[in-house]
Amino acid sequence: MSTSDVEALQQKLKEMIAEEFSISIDKLTPDATVESLGIDSLGLIDFMFKVEDELGVDMPDSRTPLLTLADVYAEIAKATPRPIKG
């Protein structure tokens, strides 16, 4: 992924998080912790699932702790495009 692609992805994710959890977008800095934003673990898991659908990607099966938004972005960046079924 190029730098501009990463930035575009992060911007898209920020917008999705802001809408999903009703959080002001300027609070969504990369070092903000998920907990400090009031997002609970189940809400985050549900969000990641929605991201897969929205972006048409599959995330790897992973147990990486997602503590900050940077962790969330990094996890989503590992996703691979969903194969087209025919």
Q: What is the distance between the alpha carbons of residues 4 and 13, in angstroms, rounded to a whole number?
A: 14
Write the DSSP symbol of residue 14.
H
Cβ-contact 73, 1 below 8 angstroms:
no
The reply on whether position 63 binds another protein by CB under 8 A is no
> One symbol per residue from 17 to 36: x for binding another protein (CB under 8 A), - otherwise; what is it?
---xxx--------------
56 scored as a contact of another protein (CB under 8 A): no
75 part of the interface to another protein, by CB under 8 A: no
* Residues within the interface to another protein (CB under 8 A): 20-22, 42-43, 45-46, 48-49, 52, 58, 82, 85
